Amino acid sequence: MPDILLKTENRRYIRSSSFVMALVFTILCALAALSLGYFIHYFAKGHFVHSTESFLDAEIRYIEAVGADQVKRKDQLHLFLNTDGTLPDIIPNDLTRLAEGILVFDIPENGQRYAAKIHTLADDRKILVGKNITAISKDFKFMQWLGIASIFFVVLIMIFAYLISIFVVSGTNKIAHTAREIMDTGDLSRRLTVTSRWDDLGHMSLVLNMLLDRVEELMHGVRQVSDNIAHDLRTPLTRLQSKLEGLKDSPQKDELLDEADHLLSTFNALLRISRIEAEQKRSQFDDVNLKTLLEDVVAFYEPLAEDENITFASDLSEGTFHGDRDLLFQAFANLLDNAVKFTPAGGHVKIALRHNNGRMRIDICDTGVGVPTAEHDKIFNRFYRTEKSRSSTGTGLGLSLVNAVINLHGGNLEVENANPGLRIITIL
């Protein structure tokens, strides 16, 4: 699970949900602007061309009816072409076409723009009939500017969307980072930094900080309770033990003492696990030579294994690790203890230490009774015992303690069937 968290924690901006959403909105926005713009452009231009053409045609019909020399109108242009068919001198040479047969030009003298059509009169003279379109073409220009401005706004929206996604993602990344640190160090006094109360993430940080206050308070309560249990229950247990020791020697006394010892060791183990899990203390961490440590554990259990006719085989590489020496010894001692306990006479226990992708991998593999695959996840639970081990001695807490210690060191435990037997893999 920690691996998944690590991967998603520092999300790249482009992959963030807010960025993707912003991108989708921008695209939709741009499409809407484009289709609307195109529609307006097409419609307006079509209408303009059509109305200009029909106006000019009506004017030509009027000229034909009335006589070309009689008509004089404001805002219009009636010019006869030269006899050789060329345009009069007043018309500039840079002509554009609005549509088939309609010319557009500016007259430099009055600074007006005209759209015009050339018509051949009944007397074979050619006349150019023009309409002043200065005002309408200014409007058209303005519409073009609006189009450019809307493109500019779409670009602005995209930039803002990107900035917003950076803001949101860096904010959530910061929160995730702090949360991760709190999980790793177990330092519940840490709080998220609240930059402003204005944005939603700031508000969320405030609420999460309140949650952390509450969690810290509860954890403190749990610790208080376990300390109280330690203080209040261990003392009467000690007294019970001492009173038992004071009894006259008898087989019953030994039985009672064994019971008391068992009760005390279960109790101590339980308390110890809770404390390791609750406190996450790393003040005792130092560089530990794992090879030496494992050799010591093996040497410690070797006589016991020999008595049970079990052989040890160790294959240890050099390796140092930053951790708590006593706790690590305890963890591996418990693992080896279990391996010896559940391996029948004549069996083997293999211990290997290897480097694995920059981490340390410790395999402890036995040829014992094994654990059904369905129960592999459960063996680290407190008081969990397999059917086969229920009859054996022990508190049912050995592997829970191993789990607590390995978690404290940021490691993982994996269980595999070794057919026959069990392989427990510790990754540190």
Partner 1 sequence: MKILVIEDDTDVRTYISKGMKEAGHTIDTADNGKEGLFLATTEDYDVMIVDRMLPELDGLTIIKTIRGAGNTTPVIFLSALGEVDDRVTGLRCGGDDYLVKPFAFAELLARIEILGRRQDNNSAGEQTTLHAGDIELNLLSRKVTRGDQDIDLQSREFRLLEYIMRHKGQIVTRTMLLEHVWDYHFDPQTNVIDVHISRLRGKIDNGFDTKTIRTVRGAGYIIED
Interface positions with partner 1 (CB under 8 A) = 227, 230-231, 234-239, 241-242, 245, 254, 257, 264-265, 268-269, 272, 275-276, 281, 283-284, 296, 299-301, 303-304, 307, 324-327, 329-330, 333-334, 337, 341, 393-395, 398
Q: Which of 230, 300, 299, 266 is nearest to 398 (CA)?
A: 266
Q: Which of 283, 301, 267 is nearest to 382 (CA)?
A: 267
Least distance to partner 1, CB of residue 261, Å? 8
Q: Which of 9/295 has CB closer to partner 1?
A: 295
Q: Which of 129/333 has CB closer to partner 1?
A: 333
Least distance to partner 1, CB of residue 253, Å? 9
Least distance to partner 1, CB of residue 360, Å? 19
Q: Which of 91/401 has CB closer to partner 1?
A: 401
Under DSSP, the state recorded for 370 is -
Are the C-beta atoms of 274 and 226 separated by less than 8 Å? yes
Least distance to partner 1, CB of residue 1, Å? 27
Least distance to partner 1, CB of residue 412, Å? 22
Least distance to partner 1, CB of residue 345, Å? 15
Are the C-beta atoms of 203 and 197 separated by less than 8 Å? yes
Q: Write 215-219 long-range contacts (CB < 8 A, 24+).
A: 215/188, 216/188, 216/189, 219/188, 219/278
Least distance to partner 1, CB of residue 347, Å? 16
Under DSSP, the state recorded for 316 is E
SS (H, E, C) 97-119: EEECCEEEEEECCCCEEEEEEEE
Q: Which of 167/300 has CB closer to partner 1?
A: 300
Residue the block writes with tokens 């004017």? 59
Q: Which of 167/329 has CB closer to partner 1?
A: 329
Q: Which of 71/230 has CB closer to partner 1?
A: 230
Q: Which of 150/386 has CB closer to partner 1?
A: 386
Phi-psi region of 30 (alpha: psi -120 to 50; beta: other; left: phi over 0): alpha
Burial class (CB in 10 A: 0-12, 13-18, 19+), 224: exposed
Question: In sequence order, which ranges of 362-416 are alpha helices (DSSP H)?
Answer: 398-408
Least distance to partner 1, CB of residue 378, Å? 19
| 366/344 Cα distance (integer angstroms) | 10
Give the strand pairing for 102-107 and 126-132. unpaired
Give the strand pairing for 112-120 and 126-132. antiparallel
| 408/195 Cα distance (integer angstroms) | 32
> What tokens appear for 117 in the block?
């059509």
Are the C-beta atoms of 237 and 263 separated by less than 8 Å? yes
Least distance to partner 1, CB of residue 375, Å? 20
Q: Which of 289, 294, 315, 311 is nearest to 302 (CA)?
A: 311
Least distance to partner 1, CB of residue 421, Å? 19
Q: Which of 308/416 has CB closer to partner 1?
A: 308
Q: Which of 56/404 has CB closer to partner 1?
A: 404
424: which strand partners? Answer: 364, 415
Q: Which of 127/293 has CB closer to partner 1?
A: 293
